[in-house]
Structure formats: structure tokens, C-alpha cells
Amino acid sequence: MPVRTYIEAIRETLREEMRRDASVIVLGEDVGKKGGVFLATDGLYDEFGEGRVIDTPLTESLIIGASIGVSVNGLRPVPEIQFADFIFPAFNQIVSEAARMRYRSNGTFSCPMTIRAPFGGGVHGALYHSQSVEAFFTHVPGLKVVVPSTPYDARGLLRSSIRDDDPVLFFEHKKLYRSVRGEVPDSDYSVPLGRANITRPGTQVTIVAYGLMAHYALEAAELVEADGISAEVIDVRTLRPLDTETLLDSVKKTGKAVIVYEDNRFGGYGAEIAALLAEEAFDYLDGPVTRVAGPEVPGVPYSHGLEDWFMVDPDRIAEAVRRLAAY
Amino acid sequence: MPVRTYIEAIRETLREEMRRDASVIVLGEDVGKKGGVFLATDGLYDEFGEGRVIDTPLTESLIIGASIGVSVNGLRPVPEIQFADFIFPAFNQIVSEAARMRYRSNGTFSCPMTIRAPFGGGVHGALYHSQSVEAFFTHVPGLKVVVPSTPYDARGLLRSSIRDDDPVLFFEHKKLYRSVRGEVPDSDYSVPLGRANITRPGTQVTIVAYGLMAHYALEAAELVEADGISAEVIDVRTLRPLDTETLLDSVKKTGKAVIVYEDNRFGGYGAEIAALLAEEAFDYLDGPVTRVAGPEVPGVPYSHGLEDWFMVDPDRIAEAVRRLAAY
Amino acid sequence: MATTAADARAAVGDAPAGDLAAKVGLTDQQLLDMYALIALTRAVDERMWILNRAGKVPFVISGQGHEGAQVGLAFELRKGHDWMVPFYRSVASVLTFGMTAREIMLAQFARSIDPSSGGRQMPGHYGAARHNILSTSSPVATQVLHAVGIALAAKIRGIDQVVMTSLGEGASNQGDFHEGLNFAGIHRLPVVTVVENNGYAISVPARLQTAVEDVADRAGGYAMPGVVVDGADVLACYRAGREAIRRARAGEGPTLIEAKVTRLTGHSSDDQQTKYRSAEELASGKDRDPLPRFRSQLRDAGVLDDEHESTIAAEIKAAVDDATDWAEAQPEPDPATAERHVYAGDPPDPSAGQPGAG
Amino acid sequence: MATTAADARAAVGDAPAGDLAAKVGLTDQQLLDMYALIALTRAVDERMWILNRAGKVPFVISGQGHEGAQVGLAFELRKGHDWMVPFYRSVASVLTFGMTAREIMLAQFARSIDPSSGGRQMPGHYGAARHNILSTSSPVATQVLHAVGIALAAKIRGIDQVVMTSLGEGASNQGDFHEGLNFAGIHRLPVVTVVENNGYAISVPARLQTAVEDVADRAGGYAMPGVVVDGADVLACYRAGREAIRRARAGEGPTLIEAKVTRLTGHSSDDQQTKYRSAEELASGKDRDPLPRFRSQLRDAGVLDDEHESTIAAEIKAAVDDATDWAEAQPEPDPATAERHVYAGDPPDPSAGQPGAG
Ligand SMILES: Cc1ncc(C[n+]2csc(CCOP(=O)(O)OP(=O)(O)O)c2C)c(N)n1
Ligand SMILES: Cc1ncc(C[n+]2csc(CCOP(=O)(O)OP(=O)(O)O)c2C)c(N)n1
Ligand SMILES: [Mg+2]
Ligand SMILES: [Mg+2]
């Protein structure tokens, strides 16, 4: 099977979907000739032309607002927000408009679109090029939120997202773009939205993570194996709608859960998972649902030392797993 | 002691703070001659003139962005967002700018401002005049988030907020404006930010709530008293920073917690409280941390029947308390 | 009763046009249709307030004073082909573009088969998939971007659709307006943006809303024509709309039209406008009411006579009575359906093509 | 070395002005100061790239090509009184307004006493409380509203402060630009908004960014003068800046200035501009470099001679070397401080008035 990087998987899937379906268009800042600042759309402009690969002005609200109109009038836009940090000017269009179009029109209008945005820290991007923004959107009914962590899932989930009839936020972790490779079949497979993935089976502690942290969780599971602890790792993959069944089944089995997210802890996405497990798996819990998350500062600082201080890493996860296993 | 409505308490506090401190200004849509669509700023224009009570254009990003500049240059703005539902155009200015000014400048700039916004449902305001938006802001380090539920707290917390040196989001529940009255001393008391309030002591179940739900929680506690259940009710009041101590102490005592919020459940503010209790009070819990919250739809629908379907009410809370008490 | 331009044209064929009609390139019948639309809208709107005072409709937001501009500007659109992206005052716009008095009333009563939202949104948030009228939300100016996107899709798909969108002069200061018009200008999109300038955003007068007297002055900054038109002059609006629609359809790009109108009512049923508008000002606003003005114009031109007038009035009364009674008699939305349509996959909405509402 | 206008004026007093200087109302020494500022900025900027290639500074975003406009436009501001609300290319603006080469270099190296952010932000996000230079963020155009707010506070407080803010032509399409200029226009606020139009927003050419050729054309829509100025012509920029600052200070309201500049480097150290700009275009950009142009102008006018030039060059080299070595030698931020300054109440930042950085 061909081996691809995470970003190659995304780029090729965009190309294939555009070939397959003439209604798919790409728009955003620098997505044309430059091919996107991370080259996720590289080559699309040459192949599909400026009619379907549109370099927009530097205006995020327009990118999403126009995508809403485009989707209402028969096309399937795949807007790119250059960095997830810059999605906020479009917040109103996403939350007030795209998310509610179907509900408020009683099912008569809809916005099939896939908003792609690179997110996450550990790339020396400082406060405004490192953010995790998923918690702002996972709370919103009407939206779907996807965070793939492998090239295989990136492709399979991007396919499902583009073909989905609802607005999807598709967050790609910047640090994974070139650092992760994996087998990606050439077939037209897709990974359904709403299904978590058990990436490592185990019996004593469940580690729940997504994005970069899904990798760190696996590394942490290796680390604690040396201590004789068997950890099960779940990559959430789709944050909304959440695959509660897979999570609950795992925690009912292990009795213990560590939830990992890169974002600051308070009110982050992991809070919902913790709340869910605490409520619905209470009888099975043999220890507190434990969160490992970022510190309560407004962003990832730039200086190397400060950034390292911010980022959750495999050691911190392993430490929490050990503590919980010993509970 | 004089009895005032919730909105009177707010209006008078604004007036007094403006009299006390010439650096306090008010700005927003219709805050001038009209006195605000809920009359929260009624009379201020006549007393302080258009220099300190500024009718802005219909542009929320400007209202907050300009308030940032105003606060940086020596004044204390109290911007009003006409309905919390319309705060999203200003999301970038609040989350990317106001919240981070102090941190990103390493403590050399700050934004003392109090953003007032009416929120909440049950007022027949439909999708765009009923929203609870707190969860989008409680997650953000650098912001403080306050939700008073009584006239006394409205006054005491508004004072503290205006005098605070950080950006505060001050959410006022619309349904409380005229329906709730209470004793409000004329003295210059204030209620400190960051302190929850035990509004009813009890022993068997802790009910945690805020805003309109803080009242419904009390009503629910009355309802279950008839069944011989003793419920302690905590009004969170300041959602960020959260008074974890009061919450933990209560739950360590009762062993059971019901968390109530009006917003849709998934990823709502109550998820953080549930996660916190599940993690830090695990050894004391005698039943699952239970959430009573709104349904997973993108907004409160207009039609009476649909709105009633949406809204959490005392009966639903009481039901959850009974279930948990019997656990 | 013919309530729409296309119907009217089909019916009238090549009837001999009077002087006035000829001058604007219409038939007498079309002028009468326009008049009927304006009068119908006014009657529907007045009924809303009556229902509000009677406690039957908790909230009203109305277009009184804006109807002449709305009918004139939208008259040349192609129903079922073009798009309308309205705002909450667009009662006349959506009636001109195919909605019926019954459909408007379903929204007032928030009935289950209301095509706008099935009773989920407040009255005034019109929309109708079968008419290409986009669902309206409350946050102002967001729709400008939707209109631009619809126009972009039309261009990409090679369909000669024209999109008309409307908003108030207060809303035009929002960032979305700037971003939308800029994009429309760059790509010469077939979108007509109508600013209905009634001088107030709730209580805030235009001088505190907008740095310039005429919002249309901003059009040059977006490389499009900016047209100021007297919104009380229905035929001037018709001409401005027709030319903008023609340009858009011909691929000549977008137009910004500012119609100077007057708001004859409070902002909504929640507003007391006497608090911020003087009695004289309110009185002078009445002089700018498009309905009596258009009536006189048509009477002076011999297009409208007593007989027409009483026929139209009777038809309108019947239509409004029918719409009110019929809509009120429809069932309220069932809470069992409240969770539907958050995501795709729910059974189709009963109102989607409801023939009874037609 | 005198790096700033006010210092220079104080030092030179009423020295006899040459023809060129007299024509623009400056002294020869002031012209030399301007030249020195431009040359210093260029030297600092080139050093950044060297440090980047040497692996010492992971990210560079620079103002090469913009320096002439920035120095000219800001030269008339009152340091320590007025406000500067910059963007990431504003190296020359902040140097003109009081920051030092050492302070710039502290930001490049992300050192703990960096006055901009204590090493928390990427290089290019300048700010300095003691100079009234507002902290810069990354999201573009947000600062326009901050500038407007600062100006509003100045007006309310009755202080004759002038606020200058800058952004790119790409950023000027953001909604915040529209909302900010509209408000400034309504209240005639003392704010000068400078759009530094370098023809690109990263890779997107101006024709796909902005519907019009000149962003300044939009000024009329905000009831303020819109001035287009050749950013390679330092003295034209000076005149435009002076007039706008004078107007603002006199209570005559805001001005929008568009300086046509050229971006001599890639967008940042992460960008490969050859992918989207042709070799010819890149070559022709060089002709619009303000530095050699201003140098020739001053030499032709007899203001700058070999001796001046070599003195200035030596001073600049020394200053840049000093700044680099000194800044590099400062300690990195201590992770133990990483949690500070989320809210009020933490101990004052060591860099707040750091004399060593002066
Ligand atoms: C983003 C947003 N902010 C505030 C409101 C509340 N609001 C509704 S209508 C209105 C005034 C609109 O004025 P204008 O655009 O001139 O239209 P008009 O009502 O005068 O026709 C306001 C402030 C809103 N709907 N959306
Ligand atoms: C809101 C936002 N979106 C996207 C970006 C990423 N970005 C940084 S600079 C830039 C281009 C800016 O172009 P322009 O405004 O013309 O300024 P220039 O860099 O050319 O000086 C972009 C897209 C950003 N910083 N902020
Ligand atoms: Mg208006
Ligand atoms: Mg540029």
C-alpha cells in the first residue's frame, strides 16, 4: 500500500474529490498559485483553474459567508482558513449561520461544506499560530467537528466530510502534516463520521485523545507498558457527533480514563468527555476521570522554553496514567 | 432595605459607578436616548451626556475593539452588546485581543472593561434572542465571566466587574430583568468575583446552577423537600474564575451533584463543573455527577410549545435530583 | 388576484400601455400589479399589528414605509430562477418574489407548515426554498455574504441567476457588508445589494451610524455603481432595480442601490419611537409614505380609477382575511418534531412544498 | 547617534536649512535623521535574515521596501505623547517612534526582557508601553479598532494625542477596517490610518484582494480625506503624514493614507515568493526601494555627502552589532514565569521600563 504523509493524504483527497464531483470547489487565502501556506492545495489551481480554486481576499467572514451561499446554490465548497487561530472573524457566520441554516429553515435549506483549518501547537507558532479551537465548535449543534490524526484517517474522513450534507469543521494538526506517514490505500474508502478508533487495545486504563495527542497517547501507552500497565488508547477522530458507545464500552472495561487534550483545560473539549464518562459510566469507575491538558494561559508562548512548558507530552500523559493505574 | 428589580440594580449601579469614576463610559447600540432596548442604561444619557454614553453604529466588533483602545488609553468602558446572541461578530476582538492583551504584552498593557450582554431563553425570543453563550467565553484564559441571578448580586458583581482590571463578560438573564426583585442595600458594597454562593443549605444532593437556573434550582429544592430530600443549592455567580472550593466542599459533604444549565448540554459550561467534580471529588461521590441541560438543537425555537420543550424547568431538575438521591 | 409581475405579464400580454406605463416600459396592468402588491403588503402588515394588539402574535416587525422601494426594486426579478436574500423588513420583497399572504401569516402565527421556519423563528424571518428566498436570520448583514456566495455559485455553474439582497443602513456598517461588496466587486458577481435607508437603526439616527450621508457613496470603493433612489418613488425604484438586474444578468457586475425610505412604525412591536423621534419628524415621515403617493401617481396618469381601486381593495381585504383565518387555523408545531433538522437525514419538512399555502 | 526626529530637532536647533529641507519645512539634520532611520531599519532587518539563515531566529517578518513610507509618515508624531498602533512590518515605524535596535533584537531573540512580549510572541509583534506603542497581535486589521478606541479616549479625556495605525492592503478588506473608519469618520477622531500597499497579501495579488486600484478611494465613504502617496518618496510621505497629523491634532478628524510600497522580501521567512511572482516583477520591485532613492535625493540636494554617509553607516553597523550581541546575551524567559500576566496582580514585568534596553 502506498505510504503518504498526512498532508499528502489531504492534498490527494482534495484532488480526487474535485475530479469526482464538479460541484466541489476550494477557496481561501493563498490556496491558488501558492497552493496554501502548508501546500495542502498545491497543484489544484493548475489542474482545476481559478474558477474552482479561488484565492479570496484576506477576509475570513467572507470566506465562510460566501461558502454558505455557494453551498445553498448547489455547490460543495471546501473553504480553507489559513490557521485555525484566524477562524474567529468568521465565528458569527459559522455559529449563527451555517450551523443553524437547516434547523431554522425547518429542513428546507442546508450548507454542505467542509471548513479545513490547520491547528495546534508545538510548531513554534506562538499565541496566534498554535491554537486549539475545537471546543468553540464542538459545543454547537448543527456543526460536525473532525480531527484526524493519521494519513489514513485524514483521507477517509475528508472524503466523508466533503460528501456530508452538513457543515463540517475539519481540523488538521500542523505538527502532523509532515511528521506522520502511514499507509493510505488508493481505493475509494472512507472513514465514517462519528466513529472513534481504538488504536491500541488494553485492559487497565483508557486513554482518550485526538490530533497530535492521539500519537502522544500511544507513546505514553508504550511508556507505561514498561511498568506493566496495559493502556487502551482511543482516538476520538470525530469530536461531534461523538462516538459515546466506543468510549463507554472501553471505560466500562478498564474502569479508568485519562483524557488528553492540548488546549487549555478549563472548559476544553475533554471536559465534555469527562462529564459524559462520569455520568454514564459511574458504576464502572475505579478511579477519577483524569484530564491531562494545557495550562490556563491565553495561548502557546513563542520562546522554546515556554512552549515546552505549555505542551502536553507523552511523559506527562504517562505520569497521569501511572497515577491512575495505581489508584 | 430598598427592594429593586434586577434591571434596576444594574441601572443604578451603572449610574453610581459613572458618578464615582469619571473614567467609566458606556457605549453600545441604542444605549443613549433610548436607554437600551431593555432600559438598562435609561437616564444615563441625560445625566452624563453623549460624551460618556455613546450610541455606536450597529457594529459589535467596533464596540469591543474600540473599547479595547479606550481601556488601553486610560478609561473604563462598559460596552453593551444588545443581545448576547449578537456578540459573535465581536468574538475575534474578545478572544484574540481583549483576553490576550495582558499576556501577550507580558503584563504591560491591559483591558479593564465590562462587557454587558443580556442572554437566555424563556422570553419567546427564538433562535437569535434566547441564547446562552457563556461556554464560548468561560473556556478563555484572560477573560472573567460573571452571571448574577439576584438584584443584590447584580449590583455587587457589576461594581466589582467595573472596578476590575481585566476584561469581564457580564451576562444578565433577560427573564430575570423584571421578574426578580430583592433587597439591595444603598451602601457601596460589592460582591467579589470568583465566589460562589450557597443559596440554600442542604445535605443530600448539591444542585449547581447560575442565572435563571439558579432560581429554578431553588424551586426544585423546594419540590424535592416534599419528598424528604435535602438539597443544597449553589449559585456559581462567577463562572470564570470558578470557586472550586465551595463546589468541592459541598459535594464532598453531599456526595451527589446535579449541574443545571440552560444551554445545550454537549460541551456546555456545566461539562467543566462535572469534569472537575468527577476528578477532584471522586472519593466522595455516591452517585453519578448528573447534568440537566438544554437539548442538542441550535437554538431555542420560537413557538411556545417548542420553547417549553427546550427550556429546563424546576420539574425537570427535581426529577433528576430525586433520581440521584435514590441512587 | 394577480399579485406578481410575471403572472401579470403573462395575463396582460401586449395590452396597450398608457403614457406613464410606456415611459417606464411597462404595461398599465403591470403598474396596477405593483400597486396591488404595495397595497397588499400594507394590508398584511397592518393586520400583523392588529393581531399583535389582540395578543395573538407576540412580536411584529414590519416594512411600512419600505414597500414602494421593495416592490419597485424586485419587480424585474425572475421568480423561481433568481434569488432573494431578504431581511426582516422585506415583506413586500418576498411577496413580490412569490410568497403569498398566507405564507406571511403562517410565519406570524408560527404554524407548523410555515415555510419560513415551521414556527421556529420569530415572525419577520422569511424564507422559502421553493421560491429561492433564502432563510433569514437575526444577526444583521450576514446575508450580504450569502447573497455574494449564491451569485458566485451561479457564475461558476454558468446560470444567469441574479441575486438581490437587502439590509438597513445601520446594518450596512457591519464588516460583512464591506467584505461582501469587495468580493462582489472583484469578481463582478451578479448581485444587487439594496440598502433601505430609513434614517434609523432602532433609535440611532443615521448621522451616528454612518459617516456619510449616502451609503451609496461607498459603492465606488467596491468598483460598482452606487445609486441613490427615492424609495417613495416606486417607478424610480423600478428603473433602478431593472437596470441593476439587467447589468447583473448581462455579466456587467454588481450594483449597490440605496433607497431612501421612511419607517412609518416603531422599530418593532417592542419599540416606543416617540422616545427618540419628535412628533414633527414622525409627521413628516408620513409624507414620504409610498402608498398614497403611488396611488395619486397612478390616478393622475389615468391608470388607476375608482373601479380598479375598489376591486383591488376588495381583493386585498379578502386575501388578508383569508390568509389570517386560514393561517390561524393551522396546527402549531409539534414538540415531537423539535429535534428534527439539526442534521441531514430527518423526514422532509411538511411545509417544503405545501400546496395549501400557495 | 540620533535616531529620532525629536532628539534631532532638539540637538540641531535652528541650523540653516538647505533648499530641499526648506522646501519640506525641515532642517538638513532632520533629513539626515530620516535617512539614518531608514538605513538603520534596513540594517536591522537584514540582520534578522542573517540570523534566521544562521538558525538563530526561527522566524522573520520584515519591512524591507516599506521603510521610507514608515519613517516619513511617522516622523511628525510626538513621541511619548501620541500613539502608534503598528503591524508586523512596522519595524521603521516603531524605530521612528522611539523603540531602539536593541528592543527590536530582543523580540527577534525572544528574550525575557523583550518589551514587546517578553519572548511570548513571534518576532514582528512589536509593542512598548513606555513608548505608547500598542502590543501587536497576529490577526490582521483588529488594531484599526484599537487605534480608533485610543483616539476616542483621547478625545473624551481632552488630550491632543494623535494615533497612527498601519496595516496592509490585504488586511484593509477585513470588516474591522470598515467598522473602524466609519466610526472614526462619524466622530472625527484623531486617527491616521496608513495602508501600506505592497501589492500582495502573501501570494494574493491586489487585483484579487481589493475591488479598486486605490484603497484610498474608500476614504470618501468614511467622510475623511484619502491620500495616495508614493511610498518610495520619503518626503512625499512626510508631507502626507504631517498634514494628516496636523488635521488630527487640530480636531479636523481622521485621514486615510495609502502608501504604495514594494515588498522586497518574501512575505516572511516561511514564504517562497518566486512561486507566484515573476523574476521581472521582482526585479522591478527593486527600483522602488526607498533607501537608494532617498540617498540619491539627499546627495543630489547636497544634504548627504560621503562623510555623513560613512559616519551614519558606521554608527548603524555599530548599533546593529551592539543590539544583536547584547540582545542575544540576555536570558531567555524562565518557564516559571509562563503563567504570569493572565490576569492583573502579577509582579511587574521586568521589561516594562528596562533601562538597559534603551
Ligand atoms: C449583529 C446584530 N446586532 C444587533 C442586532 C439588533 N438589531 C436588530 S435590528 C437593529 C437595527 C437595524 O437598523 P437598520 O440596519 O438601519 O435597519 P432598519 O431596522 O432600520 O430597517 C438592531 C440593532 C441584530 N439583529 N444583529
Ligand atoms: C485574520 C487573519 N487572517 C489571516 C492571517 C494570515 N496572514 C498574515 S499576513 C497575511 C497577508 C497580509 O497581507 P497585507 O495585509 O497586504 O499585508 P502585507 O503582509 O502585504 O504587508 C495573511 C493572510 C492573519 N494574520 N490574520
Ligand atoms: Mg434603518
Ligand atoms: Mg500587502
Same domain, A147 and A47: yes
In a domain, A188, yes or no: no
Parallel, antiparallel, or unpaired: how do β-strands C191-197 and C255-260 relate?
A: parallel
In a domain, A192, yes or no: no
Rounded to whole angstroms, the Cα distance separating A76 from A87 reads 19
Q: What DSSP designation does C134 have? A: P
Instruction: Name the residue in chain C with its Cα closest to that of D185.
Output: C211
Distance C18 CA to ligand 4 centre (A): 57
**Average per-residue pLDDT in chain A?**
98
D200 is known as an active-site residue? no
Average pLDDT on B294-314 reads 98
Q: What is the ipTM of this complex?
A: 0.97
Rg (C-alpha) for chain D, rounded Å, is 19
Length of chain A: 327
Q: Which of A123, A126, A147 is nearest to A135 (CA)?
A: A147
Rounded to whole angstroms, the Cα distance separating B165 from B116 reads 16
Query: Hey, what amino acid is at B187?
Result: S
Rounded to whole angstroms, the Cα distance separating D20 from D303 reads 8
Question: Vertex A180, ends A179 and A185: CA angle to 5°?
Answer: 145
Average pLDDT on C8-18 reads 43
Rounded to whole angstroms, the Cα distance separating C219 from C257 reads 9
Residue B113 host element (H or E): strand B113-119
Same domain, B138 and B201: no
Distance C258 CA to ligand 4 centre (A): 31
Assess contact for A106 and C351: CB atoms under 8 A.
yes
Across the A:B interface, residue pairs with CB atoms under 8 Å apart total 138
C-alpha cell of B241? Answer: 474564575
**% of chain C surpassing 70 pLDDT:** 92
Residue C356's CB is within 10 A of a number of other CB atoms, namely 10
Q: State pLDDT tens for residues C148-169.
A: 999 999 999 999 999 999 999 9
Average pLDDT on A108-121 reads 98
Domains of chain D: 5-332 (3.40.50.970)
Q: Which of C345, C344, C323 is nearest to C111 (CA)?
A: C323
Same domain, B176 and B245: no
**% of chain D surpassing 70 pLDDT:** 92
Same domain, A155 and A34: yes
Same domain, A149 and A259: no
Assess contact for B55 and C203: CB atoms under 8 A.
yes
Distance D170 CA to ligand 4 centre (A): 5
C199 lines ligand 1 (CB under 6 A): no
Question: Vertex D182, ends C199 and C252: CA angle to 5°?
Answer: 80
Among candidates A88, A287, A298 on the partner chain, residue whose Cβ is nearest the Cβ of B282: A287
D78, with CB counted inside 10 A (0-12, 13-18, 19+), is middle
In a domain, A93, yes or no: yes
Query: Has residue B252 got a pLDDT over 90?
Result: yes
Same domain, B160 and B241: no
What pLDDT score was predicted for residue D11? Answer: 39
Rounded to whole angstroms, the Cα distance separating C52 from A283 reads 53
Q: State pLDDT tens for residues A239-289.
A: 999 999 999 999 999 999 999 999 999 999 999 999 999 999 999 999 999
User: Chain C contacts of D179, Cβ < 8 Å?
Assistant: 173-175, 178
Q: What DSSP designation does B93 have? A: I
In a domain, B188, yes or no: no
C-alpha cell of B310? Answer: 427546550
Ligand 2 pocket, mutate which of A58, A61, A62, A127 (most atoms under 8 A from CB): A58
Parallel, antiparallel, or unpaired: how do β-strands C200-201 and C204-205 relate?
A: antiparallel
What pLDDT score was predicted for residue C350? Answer: 60
Query: Has residue C286 got a pLDDT over 60?
Result: yes
- Whether D177 and chain C come into contact, CB under 8 Å, resolves to yes
What pLDDT score was predicted for residue B1? Answer: 83
Q: State pLDDT tens for residues C186-210.
A: 999 999 999 999 999 999 999 999 9
Question: Vertex B319, ends B315 and B324: CA angle to 5°?
Answer: 150
State the distance between the two ends of chain D, measured CA to CA, in whole angstroms: 13
Assess contact for D221 and C212: CB atoms under 8 A.
yes
Phi–psi pair at A76, nearest 5 degrees: -120, 90
Of B152, B183, B214, the residue at which a domain comes to its end is B183
In a domain, A7, yes or no: yes
A89 lines ligand 2 (CB under 6 A): yes
Same domain, B159 and B280: no
What pLDDT score was predicted for residue D18? Answer: 60
C-alpha cell of D334? Answer: 524562565
C-alpha cell of C115? Answer: 415555510
Structural domains in chain B (count): 2
Of B135, B160, B183, the residue at which a domain comes to its end is B183
Contacts of D318 (CB under 8 A, 6+ apart): none
A86 lines ligand 2 (CB under 6 A): yes
Strand, coil or helix: what is C155? helix
According to DSSP, the residues that pair with A256 across neighbouring strands are none
Name the closest-CA residue to atom 20, ligand 1.
C201
Q: State pLDDT tens for residues C70-117.
A: 999 999 999 999 999 999 999 999 999 999 999 999 999 999 999 999
Q: Which residue is listed with cell 466588533?
A: B61
Parallel, antiparallel, or unpaired: how do β-strands B238-240 and B144-146 relate?
A: antiparallel
Query: Has residue C358 got a pLDDT over 80?
Result: no
C-alpha cell of C114? Answer: 410555515
Among candidates D181, D207, D210 on the partner chain, residue whose Cβ is nearest the Cβ of C182: D210
Model confidence at A81, pLDDT cuts 50, 70, 90, reads very high
Contacts of C298 (CB under 8 A, 6+ apart): C20, C31, C32, C35, C304
Distance D15 CA to ligand 2 centre (A): 43
CATH number of the domain encompassing residue B153: 3.40.50.970
Q: Which of C45, C25, C18 is nearest to C263 (CA)?
A: C45
Rounded to whole angstroms, the Cα distance separating C183 from D179 reads 17
What pLDDT score was predicted for residue D14? Answer: 44
Query: Has residue A312 got a pLDDT over 60?
Result: yes
Question: B108, B111, B162: which to substitute to probe chain D, counting the most D Cβ within 10 Å?
Answer: B108
What pLDDT score was predicted for residue C18? Answer: 59
Same domain, B96 and B209: no
User: Chain A contacts of C142, Cβ < 8 Å?
Assistant: 65, 92-93, 96-97
CA distance B158 to chain A (A): 24
pLDDT in 10s for each residue of chain D, 358 residues? 333 334 433 334 444 446 999 999 999 999 999 999 999 999 999 999 999 999 999 999 999 999 999 999 999 999 999 999 999 999 999 999 999 999 999 999 999 999 999 999 999 999 999 999 999 999 999 999 999 999 999 999 999 999 999 999 999 999 999 999 999 999 999 999 999 999 999 999 999 999 999 999 999 999 999 999 999 999 999 999 999 999 999 999 999 999 999 999 999 999 999 999 999 999 998 999 999 999 999 999 999 999 999 999 999 999 999 999 999 999 999 999 999 999 999 877 665 544 344 3
Among candidates A32, A34, A301 on the partner chain, residue whose Cβ is nearest the Cβ of D120: A301
Query: Hey, what amino acid is at A206?
Result: T
Model confidence at A317, pLDDT cuts 50, 70, 90, reads very high
User: Chain A contacts of C338, Cβ < 8 Å?
Assistant: none
- Ligand located closest to C177 CA: 1
In a domain, B110, yes or no: yes
pTM beyond cutoff 0.95: yes
Cβ contact (<8 Å) for D212 and C224?
A: no
D66 lines ligand 2 (CB under 6 A): no
Cβ contact (<8 Å) for C145 and A65?
A: yes
Cβ contact (<8 Å) for B302 and C202?
A: no
Helix axes D5-12, D28-53, angle to 10 degrees: 140
Question: C198, C202, C341, C349: which to substitute to probe chain B, counting the most B Cβ within 10 Å?
Answer: C202
Q: Which residue is listed with cell 477522530?
A: A237
Same domain, A178 and A223: no
- CB-based neighbours (< 5 A) of ligand 3, an ion: C 168-170, 198, 200-201
| List of long-range contacts for D265-268, beta carbons under 8 Å, 24+ apart | D265/D49, D265/D62, D265/D64, D265/D65, D267/D61, D267/D200, D267/D202, D267/D203, D268/D59, D268/D60, D268/D61, D268/D62, D268/D124
Phi–psi pair at B293, nearest 5 degrees: -150, 175
Task: Compute the CA torsion angle C294, C297, C300, C301 (nearest 10 deg).
Answer: -110
Q: What DSSP designation does A93 have? A: I
Query: Has residue C2 got a pLDDT over 50?
Result: no
Rounded to whole angstroms, the Cα distance separating D239 from D217 reads 19
Residues 63-92 of A with CB under 8 A from D: 85-86, 88-89
D140 lines ligand 2 (CB under 6 A): yes
Residue D292's CB is within 10 A of a number of other CB atoms, namely 11
Residue A48 host element (H or E): helix A44-48
Query: Hey, what amino acid is at A263?
Result: D
Query: Could you identify the atom of ligand 1 that is nearest to the CA of residue B29?
Result: 23
Query: Hey, what amino acid is at D314?
Result: A
Same domain, B51 and B151: yes
Distance A57 CA to ligand 2 centre (A): 10
In a domain, B192, yes or no: no
Same domain, B170 and B26: yes
Distance C166 CA to ligand 1 centre (A): 12
Query: Has residue C23 got a pLDDT over 80?
Result: yes
Q: What DSSP designation does A112 have? A: -
Q: How many CA atoms lie within 13 A of B145 on its CB side?
A: 25
Rounded to whole angstroms, the Cα distance separating D210 from C185 reads 8
Strand, coil or helix: what is A232? strand
Cα A208 vs. chain centroid, distance in angstroms? Answer: 14
Q: How many CA atoms lie within 13 A of B276 on its CB side?
A: 23
Same domain, B201 and B179: no
Name the closest-CA residue to atom 26, ligand 2.
D139
Task: State the maximum Cα–Cα separation within chain C, in Å, rounded to a whole number.
Answer: 58
What pLDDT score was predicted for residue A76? Answer: 98
According to DSSP, the residues that pair with D163 across neighbouring strands are D83, D191
Q: Give exposure, D8-35, as e/b (b: 16+ Cβ within 10 Å).
A: bbeebeeeebbebbeebebbbbbbbbbb
DSSP string computed for A179-230: T-EEE--SS-----TT--EEEE--SSEEEEE-THHHHHHHHHHHHHHTTT--
CATH number of the domain encompassing residue A306: 3.40.50.920
Rounded to whole angstroms, the Cα distance separating B324 from B290 reads 8
Instruction: Name the residue in chain B with its Cα closest to that of A129.
Output: B96
Average pLDDT on A131-139 reads 98
What pLDDT score was predicted for residue C347? Answer: 79
Q: State pLDDT tens for residues A169-186.
A: 999 999 999 999 999 999
Rounded to whole angstroms, the Cα distance separating C30 from C13 reads 10
Assess contact for D190 and D155: CB atoms under 8 A.
yes
Query: Could you identify the atom of ligand 1 that is nearest to the CA of residue B58?
Result: 23
Helices (H) and strands (E) in chain D, counts: 13, 7
Query: Has residue C4 got a pLDDT over 80?
Result: no
Residue A225's CB is within 10 A of a number of other CB atoms, namely 14
What pLDDT score was predicted for residue A1? Answer: 83
* Domain that includes residue A239, residue range: 197-325
User: Chain B contacts of C59, Cβ < 8 Å?
Assistant: 124
Rounded to whole angstroms, the Cα distance separating D112 from D123 reads 13
In a domain, A222, yes or no: yes
Of B134, B154, B183, the residue at which a domain comes to its end is B183
Average pLDDT on A53-66 reads 98
Assess contact for D148 and B65: CB atoms under 8 A.
yes
Assess contact for B322 and B315: CB atoms under 8 A.
no
Question: Vertex D339, ends D333 and D341: CA angle to 5°?
Answer: 90
What pLDDT score was predicted for residue D351? Answer: 57
